[in-house]
Homo-oligomer: A and B are copies of this chain.
Amino acid sequence: MIEVQPVLLSGGSGTRLWPLSREAYPKQFLPLAGADTMLQATWRRVEPLTPRAPLVVANEEHRFLVAEQLRLIGAPPARIVLEPAGRNTAPAIAVAALIAQSAGDDPVLLVLPSDHVVRDAGAFRAAVHAAAPAAVAGALVTFGIRPSTPETGFGYIQATPGEGVHKVLRFVEKPDAATAQRYLDEGGYYWNSGMFLFRASRYLEELGRFRPDILAAARAACAHTDPDGEFLRLDRTAFAASPSESIDYAVMEKTEAAMVLPVDIGWNDVGSWSALWEVSEQDGDGNAHHGDVIAVDTRNSYAYARRLVALVGVDDLIVVETDDAVLVAAKDKVQEVKQVVARLKAEQRSQAVLHREVHRPWGSYDSVDVGDGFQVKRIKVKPGASLSLQSHHRRAEHWIVVRGTARVTRNHDVFELFANQSTYIPIGAKHRLENPGNDMLELIEVQSGDYLGEDDIVRYEDVYGRG
């Protein structure tokens, strides 16, 4: 068996699953179908196939999330390629292919979105084995999902009906309902899953043939990379200059080397709340409920509760309750959720991008209460982590440690605080918070001042390289 090089694409922003998924912490980083996050589940699915470490292409903003989530499940140290801007899949896979070749070999790339559900991981791996000889021989293999319903939300791949890897006849756009039904009846049509298997060199050859501009941009972006530990920063200007295009448009629809392997692997792209309802375990009434949900006279509903959600007399409804936003949507109208996100973005509201609990490389903070002239945050600092040395012009801070150990720098003093101890940081004082212990540090911060925005911060030193 060949040693495939897994390439995990983590560039999505997942706004169709708002408010659980938000730009700063999207779908692939959430445990939407099981205890693992989607990214973690994607890696676990691939890991038995290969001794190679993952190669991840991710949004620069998500770099600490990718690194930490893979570390938490014991993945081998990943190479995490940071996209300075989203340019769709063709350029992303191109830089992954170039970097995969940089050790001098020409591995077979297994390209996978990191935010899909695959219920039958064994069948998935068997499919990769079955597709490998064709990929080694130079084909660009795509995995086509055998359709179970006349789905209008996906593109289709048409091929001669049959088993095993065979030639793609054509790629077709998302069909209307009648066409989708005809595809299902006729056979030989498969859902385009966005998963691929091909040699790095073959993808780059075909990309060079059809879109030399994208290949050139990818080469330029890789020519001046800036390694930063496990992160690999691309040349910002060069990558940004690439056209934004999908691998389907740029290569797969044009190349003579496109092959498809029809598969039954329990695939779902979880591209909407209704799709998540479909893949979730349902009770006898068709309800899939997470958290503290009381349902009376309710059917075929999905509910996600942080606090308590009570449903009364509703059918085919999606209810998603988070710390700072609640979505209530008809299951057949969930595609309109993006209109809500668009409106929030237009109004520059934080709920479009951030969760109330905001993740940082050192831990997280959660604004649990806000009032006139004050704000209360719950702050978590990871073992060994440290916030920047900083000061504020317009707010004082009271810190009460509720768990773990804090090392506090306050002007020229350095001291430790334990659970149930507190301190005070006056306006203007240079201060730093560190967790010198082996357990999570948790503290309550009460901010007091006439302006409490996150931008009132002067950073003097930051181990995470932030200005």
User: Which of B313, B340, B369, B378 makes the CB contact (< 8 A) with A332?
Assistant: B313
Task: Convert A312-351 into 0s and 1s, putting 1 for each residue whose CB lies closer than 8 angstroms to a CB of B.
Answer: 1110010101011111111011101101100110000001
- CB of A394 closer than 8 Å to a CB of B: no
Shortest Cβ gap from A267 to chain B (Å): 26
The contact of A371 among B307, B310, B402, B424, by CB within 8 Å, is: B402
- Interface contact B325-A328, CB-CB below 8 Å: no
Flag A162-202 by CB within 8 Å of B: 1 or 0 each: 00000000000000000000000000000000000000000
Q: A313-B329, A313-B336, A324-B308 are in contact. Are A422 and B398 (CB under 8 A)?
A: yes
Copies of this chain in the oligomer: 2
Closest to A330 in B: B313
Contacts A369-B444, A376-B368, A402-B446: A312 and B326 contacting too (C-beta < 8 A)? no
> Which of B308, B334, B369, B422 interacts with A312 by CB under 8 Å?
B334
> Taking A343-B294, A351-B308 as contacts, is the C-beta distance between A419 and B313 under 8 angstroms?
no
CB of A392, distance to nearest CB on chain B (Å): 13
A122 at the interface (CB under 8 A from B): no
Mostly helix, strand, loop or mixed at chain A's interface?
Answer: strand
Contacts of A378 in B (CB 8 A): 369, 371, 376
Least Cβ distance of A352 to chain B in Å?
Answer: 11
A400 an interface residue at 8 Å Cβ cutoff?
yes
Interface residues on chain A, size class: 35 or more
In the complex, what distance in Å separates the CA atom of A378 from the CA atom of B373? 13
Does A448 have its Cβ within 8 Å of any Cβ on chain B?
Answer: yes
A403–B326 CB distance below 8 A: no
Residues of chain B within 8 A (CB-CB) of A321 are 321, 326
Contact between A327 and B307 (Cβ–Cβ < 8 Å)? no
In-complex Cβ contact of A422 among B314, B343, B344, B424 (8 A)? B424
Whether A333 contacts B446 by the Cβ 8 Å rule is: no
Q: Which 5 A-B pairs have the closest CB atoms?
A: A313-B333, A312-B329, A313-B330, A374-B402, A368-B369
